[in-house]
């Protein structure tokens, strides 16, 4: 969507650091024109955010500015509930594209590194004003895994919203590059 970013921000693709561009781009028409209707009654729409596709593509600051303005408009101005599946990592916190989020759900997996990463995300989220942070533990294979991760998260003052059990069919589909055979049913997600 380089043309859209260029049109709305005035920035050229593959631009260098320090380029001048608009920090208040027009975005009011984007939710309607860029989303895909998933139901006939317009109650559910999908808006795909994008990512860096290739190394050396240049500064993504103009795209981040556009995304930040879009998210702020959708959440703060329309008072809608909108789940955002943000790319794993912390760039959306460093660039403040997530600053208008009301609740951030961090997905962790069994092990020690994942809760430590969640703690870092919590700190970065607090730096940009996000106060409500909850955690979902994913790919849980046993009670001992769940107890270990839950204990570590509580030590870090992170609230566990629930757990999702490991599903071998989902893992196999991922290994084969296929879509997941099914999403976990609500009954298989244990909400605390």
116 neighbors 110 (Cβ within 8 angstroms) = no
More confident residue, 34 or 132: 132
HSE of 13 in the Cβ direction (CA atoms, 13 Å)?
Answer: 11
Beta bridge partner(s), residue 106: 135
**Other beta carbons within 10 Å of 144:** 10
**Tell me, what's the pLDDT at 133?**
92
CA–CA distance, 168 with 173 (Å, rounded to integer): 9
CATH number attached to the domain at 102-192: 3.40.50.300
Write down the pTM of the prediction.
0.67
Average model confidence (pLDDT) across the chain = 77
Residue 4 neighbours by CB under 8 Å, 6+ apart:
66
Q: Which tens digits make up the pLDDT trace of 21-61?
A: 666 777 777 777 777 777 666 666 776 666 656 665 555 66
145: enclosing H helix or E strand: helix 143-155
CA–CA distance, 121 with 91 (Å, rounded to integer): 10
Provide the pLDDT confidence category of residue 113 given band limits of 50, 70 and 90.
very high
163 neighbors 146 (Cβ within 8 angstroms) = yes
Burial class (CB in 10 A: 0-12, 13-18, 19+), 124: middle
Question: Beta strand 132-140 with 159-165: parallel, antiparallel or unpaired?
Answer: parallel
Annotated domain spans of the chain: 1-85, 102-192
Burial class (CB in 10 A: 0-12, 13-18, 19+), 190: middle
């Amino acid at each position: 969507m380089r043309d859209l970013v260029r049109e709305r921000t005035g920035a050229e693709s593959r631009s260098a650091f320090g380029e001048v561009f608009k920090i208040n781009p027009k975005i009011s028409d984007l939710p309607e024109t860029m989303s895909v209707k998933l139901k006939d009654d317009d109650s559910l729409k999908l808006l795909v955010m994008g990512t860096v596709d290739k190394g050396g593509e240049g500064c993504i600051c103009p795209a981040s500015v556009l995304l930040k303005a879009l998210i702020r408009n959708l959440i703060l101005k329309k008072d809608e509930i909108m789940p955002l599946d943000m790319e794993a990592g912390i760039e959306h916190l460093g660039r403040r594209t997530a600053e208008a989020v009301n609740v951030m759900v961090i997905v962790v997996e069994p092990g020690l590194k994942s809760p430590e990463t969640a703690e870092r995300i919590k700190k970065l989220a607090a730096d940009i004003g996000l106060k409500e942070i909850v955690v979902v533990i994913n790919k849980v294979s046993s009670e001992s895994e769940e107890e270990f991760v839950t204990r570590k998260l509580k030590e870090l003052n992170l609230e566990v919203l629930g757990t999702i059990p490991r599903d071998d069919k989902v893992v196999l589909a991922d290994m084969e590059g296929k879509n997941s055979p099914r999403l976990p049913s609500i009954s298989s997600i244990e909400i605390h």
